[in-house]
Amino acid sequence: MSFDILNSSILALNKALREKKISCRELTELYLKRIKKYKDLNAYISVFEDESLKRAESVDKDGFSENDSVLRGIPVSLKDIFMFKGHKTTCASKMLSDHVSVYNATVTKRLEDKGAIVIGKNNMDEFAMGSSNEHSFYGPVLNPWDTARVAGGSSGGSAVAVSAGLSQISYGTDTGGSVRLPASYTSICALKPTYGRVSRYGVVAFASSLDQPGPMARNVEDLAAAFDAVAGHDEKDSTTSTRQYQSILGHIKNNVDGNEKKFCKKCIGIPRDFLKEGLDPEVLKSFESVVSVLEKAGFSFKDIKLPHAKYALDVYYIINTAEASSNLARYDGIRYGFRSTEFSDLKGLYSSSRSLGFGEEVKRRIALGTFVLSAGYYDAYFIKAAKVRRLIRRDFEEAYKTCDMILLPTAPTTAFKIGEKTSDPMTMYLSDIYTVPVNLASIPSLSFPSEFGSDNMPIGMQLLGRHFDEQTLFEAAWLLQKERPDWFNKVSVK
Amino acid sequence: MIIDNNTIKKIAQLSALDADDKQAELLAIQLSKILEHMKALDEIDVKGVEPMFFGCDDVHDMREDKVVPFDHSIIKKETRFIEKDLYSVPNIIEDEQ
């Protein structure tokens, strides 16, 4: 076998599989070998070696038909927050460390139906609460570009799996930046879809008005293929949109590829006032490089205002903690999950199980959420935040009257050192400054890699779009990839 | 500090979490720092603004309410604290003397 898998897109792999230049078993074996080789990165919580190989053999045996999905036979991984029937779903928490899924998440089901090989489930911040992937019951995920640094969170295991070539694509969830931040820290692409584009059925709930599953990949076409596979209405999640979804990969391949100039006329807004506090000068420099590349390609730029964006972080940490405190009330140690043995009565069973089953960050957020929802503080914090959220959304609606997309850095800095920010939660939260406005406004955002900083760590940028207009973001990202192929398709370890 | 230890203990009780004095003190310091940052919201006038509680404005698409068979024995395998097909918990009502 001499096929260069790690530098191949899903489409190239699909072609090779169909032409029998490589077998699905060989492809799966290669990824499984790499997972073993790089297990110290701690990207996986569980790996399904035997099962994956059996599924791969079944794909080889049954072959391919004309209408098969491009994901058929492609090894993928899932953040350990997606239910996968008969397999553990731990959410990287002691609370769910023995929990076996009794049903499939819609994302899982759609992947299985398309013949993708789910090779394992990725490490993450406990219950998706974190920006660094240091808050996991299974230990921190290491950044493959520098193992002394964080991978970013909360979908850090998924990002590292893709970046290090331990799966072709992965799926994470994004509540306040959780696919985009780790993508930025590890030099890959990630999409936070419009709220309601991808089903949340079978995804362990953190903050229900913000959570959204999203794909992660090493290049734009893989990201599009991964998004196509799971997007669209789901009757099991009433918050998914009934709007028709059209294949983005098909659009890129059939309409954009070769006709790039036609799609380079859109206007990109830049909120200069928002690019100040806490932004690393090297990230700003890279931001300007991206502007130059897009400008050269034919895009126009316009200064825009997002006057309430600077309040987004405060609004986010009121709303996400309030929703989390409510969602996580279900973990009481009775029907499933960790049950403590240190109690004397029913209330003691609840509090002891929760205190010993949850990690520190989760307990901190439950406490903060309970506080902002409690009598005497509800109006001052929760209602106020919900009103400012409306203003943040209006700012975007106003901005999109004059531009088609908005460009922002994904993170204010490159990946920081492990342990650097864990003792000060507020400092950690500031890492989310550029990602949380997107979730509050329910809009889509595509994060892509740009240059590396002087610390040899990746920098990422994001394009924000109108509601349900992921297509425009993909068009721009595709053009960027054509202009700067050196920014994409990087595998962090050999 | 915006939150003191007593408030933390009240919150802990509301959220069914244990917090001893040392934990309460640390949590009070951390949450106070976060709430201090949130004071920035005081400068915004939100008079007449409708709160936004949901992620989407689309009308929710409700499916038909129908019974789907499900094997409940799978769910019961999720805990070992089951007796006579019921979940076991500590006594809720004290025994009569």
A80 — pLDDT class (breaks 50, 70, 90): very high
- Residue A253: how many other CB atoms lie within 10 Å: 15
**Separation between Cα atoms, residue A404 and residue B24, nearest integer Å:** 48
**Separation between Cα atoms, residue A244 and residue A23, nearest integer Å:** 35
A154 is catalytic: yes
Strands A458-465 and B82-83: unpaired
| ipTM, two decimals | 0.94
Average pLDDT (A223-237) is 97
The count of domains in chain B is 1
Chain B partners within 8 Å of A346 (Cβ)? 89-92
Confidence (pLDDT) at A484: 97
Chain B partners within 8 Å of A100 (Cβ)? 77-78
Confidence (pLDDT) at B61: 75
**Separation between Cα atoms, residue A90 and residue A318, nearest integer Å:** 25
Chain B partners within 8 Å of A131 (Cβ)? none
Confidence (pLDDT) at A365: 98
Average pLDDT (A258-266) is 90
Q: Give the pLDDT confidence of A2-50 residue by residue, as tens digits.
A: 678 889 999 999 999 999 999 999 999 999 999 999 999 999 999 999 9
Average pLDDT (A256-279) is 92
| Best CATH choice for the domain A5-269+276-305+397-487 from the list 3.90.1300.10, 3.90.226.10, 3.90.330.10, 3.90.1200.10 | 3.90.1300.10
Closest CA to A242 of A192, A203, A193, A196: A196
Confidence (pLDDT) at A77: 98
What are phi and psi for residue A352, nearest 5 degrees?
-70, -45
Return the DSSP state at A344. Answer: S
pLDDT at position A274 over 90: yes
Q: How far is CA A428 from CA A90, A150, A418, A493, in A?
A: 24, 12, 11, 27
CB contact under 8 A, B90 and A346: yes
Confidence (pLDDT) at A167: 98
In a domain, B60, yes or no: no
In a domain, B87, yes or no: no
**Separation between Cα atoms, residue B80 and residue B78, nearest integer Å:** 7
CB contact under 8 A, B11 and A347: no
CB contact under 8 A, B14 and A385: no
pLDDT at position A435 over 80: yes
CB contact under 8 A, B17 and A355: yes
Domain residues for the domain of B10 are 5-42
In a domain, B89, yes or no: no
Average pLDDT (A94-116) is 97
Closest CA to A181 of A130, A255, A147: A130
Q: Give the pLDDT confidence of B40-93 residue by residue, as tens digits.
A: 999 999 999 999 999 887 767 788 889 988 888 888 889 999 998 899 999 887
In a domain, B21, yes or no: yes
Confidence (pLDDT) at B28: 96
Average pLDDT (B14-34) is 95
Pick the catalytic residue from A9, A69, A77, A79.
A79
In a domain, B67, yes or no: no
Distance from CA of B71 to the nearest CA of A (A): 9
Confidence (pLDDT) at A494: 87
Chain A partners within 8 Å of B90 (Cβ)? 343-346, 348-349
* Beta-carbon contacts below 8 Å between A and B: 156
In a domain, B72, yes or no: no
In a domain, B26, yes or no: yes
In a domain, B91, yes or no: no
Residue A8 gets the label, from left (phi > 0), alpha (psi -120 to 50) or beta, of beta
Token couple for A324: 């989390």
Average pLDDT (A357-385) is 97
Average pLDDT (A237-254) is 95
Helix and strand numbers, DSSP H then E, in chain B = 3, 2
CB contact under 8 A, A314 and B11: no
Average pLDDT (A327-342) is 96
Q: Are A449 and A188 in contact (CB under 8 A)?
A: yes
Q: Give the pLDDT confidence of A154-210 residue by residue, as tens digits.
A: 999 999 999 999 999 999 999 999 999 999 999 999 999 999 999 999 999 999 999
Confidence (pLDDT) at A134: 98
